[in-house]
Amino acid sequence: MTFAMSTSRQSDDEVLASGEYPLTRRDLGEIAAMIYSDAGIALNDSKASLVYSRLSKHIRNLGLSGFRAYCQLVSSPEGAAERREMLSHLTTNFTRFFRENHHFEHLRDEVLPGLVQRAKSGGRVRIWSAASSDGQEPYSIALTVFQAFPNVLDYDFKILATDIDPKILAIARQGAYDEQALESVSPATRKQWFKEVEIGGRRKYQVDERLKRLITYNELNLMAQWPFKGKFDVIFCRNVVIYFDEPTQMRIWTRFADLLPVGGHLYIGHSERVSGDSKNDFDNIGITTYSYVGKNGGRK
C-alpha cells in the first residue's frame, strides 16, 4: 500500500488539517502506516479531516503538545495501550437494526429453512457477524432466526459476533439502545423483544435475554489469525472490506471462502464486491448476496 508520504512536491511538514493541533503529512503518514499494519484500514490525504476530528480532543485529554508527540507515543512500546485506543477512535461504527434489509429477508426465506431442518435433525449451525459493531447487526440476525425458529435455544445453533474494538463490544453485550436506534424495528418486534429501562438517567430499550443467549461476542481483528475450528453456514461482513486496499480485500475473500461449506452464504456491503482469485468461488445470487460454490467454481 502507498501512504501519503512526501515527494519532491510534497513536504512532510505540509499541514493537511489545521486547528488546535496542526496535522502534517508526516503525522498522517505515520498514523496511516500504523492503522494499516494493525487493522488493514487504508487512510490517505482525503481522510486528514476525519483523523483530525477523531483524535484532536483525545490528544488534548492526554495533555500532549500535538500530533507529533502523539505519534511518538503510540509508536513506542510504552504507548501500546494508546495505540489500541487510537484504533477505537478511527474505526467507523455506523450501523442500524436491519440495515440492508434484503439480506435478512433472504436469510429468512431462502437460507434459514434448510438450517432449521438441519438443527432439528441434530446438526450444527453457525452464523458469523464478522464486524458486529454495537450489536445491532447480530441482534437483527437473532431476531430473524427466532422468527423462523422460536425454540432455537434448544438446539446446536449459535451466532458468533466479533469486532476489533473492545469498547464497542461492551456496548453490544449490554444490548441497550436509544429509541432512535429502533426506528427500523417494527412496533410488534419492539414490544416482544425489547424492554424499556433507565440507564444513567436515560431511557433505553434493552434486548431480551433470549437474544443474548443466542449470540457470543468476541474481540477479533480480521487481519490476525482466526481461531475457528469449524465452518460457518452464513457470514455477514458488511461495509468493512471497503476500508481495505485491494490486496487486503482479496485476502479476506479467500479466508471467508475457506470457512464456508459449499452452499454457504456470504452477505457483504452495498458498495462491496467479491474480487480476486475468490471471485469464481462464489455465485452472486442477489444484491451483495453470495453463495459459495467451491474452489474455482467447484471445478477441480
Domain ranges of the chain: 15-90, 101-298
The two beta strands, 194-199 and 157-163, are: unpaired
Q: Name the helix (H) or strand (E) containing 54.
A: helix 48-62
> What confidence tens digit (pLDDT) does each residue in 119-166 have?
999 999 999 999 999 999 999 999 999 999 999 999 999 999 999 999
C-alpha cell of residue 3: 501512504
Q: How far apart are the first and last CA of the chain?
A: 33
- Which class does domain 101-298 fall in? alpha beta
Structure confidence at residue 6 (pLDDT): 41
Output the CA angle 219-146-218, nearest 5 degrees: 5
Query: Is the per-residue pLDDT at 106 higher than 50?
Result: yes
Phi-psi region at 135: left, alpha or beta (left = phi > 0; alpha = psi -120 to 50):
left
- Which class does domain 15-90 fall in? mainly alpha
Query: Is the per-residue pLDDT at 272 higher than 80?
Result: yes
Look at 1-5, 57-61, 276-280, 283-287 and tell me which has the smallest mean pLDDT: 1-5
SS3 for 127? strand
Fold agreement between 15-90 and 101-298? no
pLDDT-derived band at 298 (thresholds 50, 70, 90) equals low
Q: Which residues are catalytic?
A: 54, 163
Structure confidence at residue 10 (pLDDT): 65
Q: What is the pTM of this model?
A: 0.84
